[in-house]
């Protein structure tokens, strides 16, 4: 196939060379040379030529705009997404309603991403996927890939996986949950046999119990029909301890992020 392509290229080049030689031999080039007349340029001639140049330029620009109108519009009118954490305190507590206000306890902690549309057009069909999830610890020094669902995540307080984010608008999506042992349902036949452990859920994927006291690295990607995809990498380090108050729990969990456009 490559040899055939090379032959075609050589034949085309030879044909162009032959065509150029024939044109050079038989075309009266002298007739194409401009005739230069030395005479003074009047003010009227100057105005005429300036107007002619301006008219030609305007016509050319009009043709360019007509041909590339959509591409030119995209330079200024476009959707422009950005990603960051919603809260200054990245880890946010969800209180257990059954506890008293004087002795409240958290039933889970969560982290929420904030997706902003800083552009002048609405971002259509916005979806966020968990593309990769790995775990690493002293027990597992080589990063372990955790199987994923491959499905888009649900947006915060929204059952839809694809939404429209208007210009200058924003949307949120939960990407991390650490669930208390008390909040987990235990099968009747296993009740009393063991104490439930706190669980970590990243995106829509629950980490297996064998992975604990280590670091999870998750790669999320935000897609949109009319905006560039954004890659957001989140690193969670957790010692697998559970604390009922945010101040104490914050000492057990470290969350960092990196955005790649």
pLDDT in tens, the chain (261 residues): 445 566 777 788 888 888 777 776 666 666 666 676 777 777 787 788 889 889 888 888 888 888 877 776 766 678 899 999 998 889 989 887 766 566 788 899 999 999 999 989 999 999 999 999 999 999 999 999 999 999 999 998 888 899 999 999 999 999 999 999 887 665 545 545 566 789 999 999 999 999 999 999 999 999 999 999 999 999 999 999 999 999 999 999 999 998 876
58 shares its domain with 119: no
87 shares its domain with 114: yes
Distance CA 242, CA 246 (A): 10
Residue 7 lies inside a defined structural domain of this protein: no
72 shares its domain with 94: no
Residue 25 lies inside a defined structural domain of this protein: no
204, with CB counted inside 10 A (0-12, 13-18, 19+), is: middle
If one counts the domains in the chain, the total is 2
Helix (H) or strand (E) holding 30: none
137 shares its domain with 247: yes
Enclosing domain of residue 64 = 39-76
């Amino acid at each position: 196939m490559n040899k055939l392509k090379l032959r075609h290229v050589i034949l085309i080049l030879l044909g162009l060379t032959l065509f150029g030689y024939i044109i050079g031999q038989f075309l009266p080039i002298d007739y194409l040379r401009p005739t230069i007349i030395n005479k003074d340029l009047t003010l009227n001639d100057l105005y005429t030529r300036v107007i002619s140049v301006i008219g030609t330029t305007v016509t050319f620009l009009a043709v360019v705009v007509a041909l590339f109108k959509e591409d030119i519009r995209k330079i200024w009118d476009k959707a422009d997404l950005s990603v960051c954490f919603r809260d200054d305190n990245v880890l946010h507590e969800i209180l257990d309603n059954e506890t008293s206000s004087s002795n409240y306890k958290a039933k889970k902690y969560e982290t929420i991403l904030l997706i902003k549309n800083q552009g002048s057009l609405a971002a259509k069909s916005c979806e966020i996927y968990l593309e990769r999830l790995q775990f690493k610890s002293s027990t597992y020094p080589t990063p372990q890939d955790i199987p994923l669902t491959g499905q888009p995540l649900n947006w915060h307080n929204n059952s839809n996986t694809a939404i429209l984010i208007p210009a200058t608008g924003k949307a949120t999506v939960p990407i991390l949950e650490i669930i208390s042992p008390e909040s987990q349902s235990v099968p009747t036949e296993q009740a009393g046999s063991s104490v439930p452990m706190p669980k970590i859920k990243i995106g829509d994927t629950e980490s297996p119990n064998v992975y604990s006291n280590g670091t999870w690295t998750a790669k999320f990607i935000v897609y949109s029909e009319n905006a560039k995809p954004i890659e957001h990498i989140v690193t969670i380090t957790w010692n697998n301890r559970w604390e009922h108050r945010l101040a104490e729990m914050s000492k057990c969990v470290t969350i960092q992020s990196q955005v790649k456009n």
